[in-house]
Amino acid sequence: MPTPQHETVVVDGLALAQDLRKQMAEEIGRLQNAGRRAPCLAVVLVGDDPASASYIKGKRRACTRIGMDSREHDLPGTASEAEILDVVTSLNADDGVDGILVQLPLPKGVDANRVAAAVDPAKDVDGLSPTNAGLLFQDEPGLYACTPLGIMEILDRYEVPLEGAHAVVIGRSQIVGKPVSMLLLRRNATVTLCHSRTRDLAAVCRSADVLVAAAGVPRMVAPDWVRPGAAVIDVGVSEVDGELVGDVDFEGVRGIASLVTPHRRGVGPMTITMLLRNTLDAYRRRTGA
């Protein structure tokens, strides 16, 4: 049977991100013209993982471009959990710091949950502290994880209907799968959260109106996993033969889905933008600006 053809909208996450960053830059400009200091994001990098260093460089560049201050605290890969916690404690106490981000992954032997729990929830712009995770669970305002916020922003800007829709999320991590499931549920989607033990994942995905792929498995979402007309959000980033690829067979899914995010200029730019927005929100709440 021939596959039904759909006009597929390809999300331009970069354009959306630039639009939101321009608005934030204008707001920071207004605050500074009124004599206030700029918001400040502190990033903690432990070790010399090149991917982490590159992510941090991108985050700091994004801060600078919108007039936000950023500070970097580098620790050697041999740093103990106690040393990392000391840095977090001093940033918590620093009144000039609005947002704290501890770049993951942390070295072996360091408990990432304990480090996340040490970050002052008012400065926890990654949304990983138990307090902010709990606020999300309770449908209360808080600082939520950046990638899920970016995904919701894309779905809203592209007017993807969520009320009563079946949303299938692949991946149950604390930074993507679980929080995006909560945000989709909050919007009255019926959410199925899948993971590596899910039986017949392809069939579950085929029943999705909205499919969020966040497993980190290159091109796992094949065209026959996608219901014609579904909206497909590709979060995955993997390196295959020196090339970055997503979790979705983008070319195969084009023409079947109603909307798809490309693995470049898709979710990635929105994740950083939501980090900036969380930092600005944290600054506003802390300073009353």
Positions that interact with ligand NAP (CB under 6 A): 147, 170-173, 175-177, 194-198, 201, 214-217, 235-238, 267-268, 271
**Catalytic option among 12, 98, 103, 123:** 103
Instruction: Rank residues 173 and 190 by Cβ distance to ligand NAP and give the closer one.
Output: 173
Chain-centroid distance of CA 23 in Å reads 19
Minimum distance from residue 227 beta carbon to ligand NAP (Å): 18
Could you confirm whether 103 is annotated as catalytic? yes
Q: How far is the CB of 288 from ligand NAP (least distance, A)?
A: 31
In the complex, the smallest distance separating the C-beta of residue 220 from ligand NAP, rounded to whole angstroms, is: 6
Joined tokens for residue 212: 């969020």
Give 6 or 265: the residue with its C-beta nearer to ligand NAP.
Answer: 265
Cβ neighbours for 40, distance < 8 A, ≥ 6 positions apart? 68, 69, 70, 71, 96, 97, 98, 99, 279, 283
- Sorted by sequence, the CB contacts under 8 Å of residue 195 that are 6+ apart come out as 170, 171, 172, 177
Phi/psi-derived region of residue 244, left when phi > 0, alpha when psi is between -120 and 50, beta in every other case: beta
Of 59, 98, 123, 249, which one is the catalytic site residue?
A: 59
Q: Which is nearer to ligand NAP, 122 or 205 (CB)?
A: 205
Smallest distance from the beta carbon of 97 to ligand NAP, in angstroms? 23
Toward ligand NAP, which CB reaches closer, 230 or 272?
Answer: 272
Q: Per the residue annotation, which of 124, 126, 234, 249 is the catalytic one?
A: 126
Q: Which amino acid, 100?
A: I
12 noted as active-site residue: no
Q: Please confirm, yes or no, whether 74 is among the known catalytic residues.
A: no
Specify which residues 245 forms β-bridges with: 238
Residue placing its CB nearer to ligand NAP in the complex, 97 or 133: 133
Least CB distance to ligand NAP at residue 151 (A): 9
In the complex, the smallest distance separating the C-beta of residue 233 from ligand NAP, rounded to whole angstroms, is 10
CB nearer to ligand NAP: pick between 97 and 279: 279
For the annotated catalytic residues, the residue numbers are: 59, 103, 126
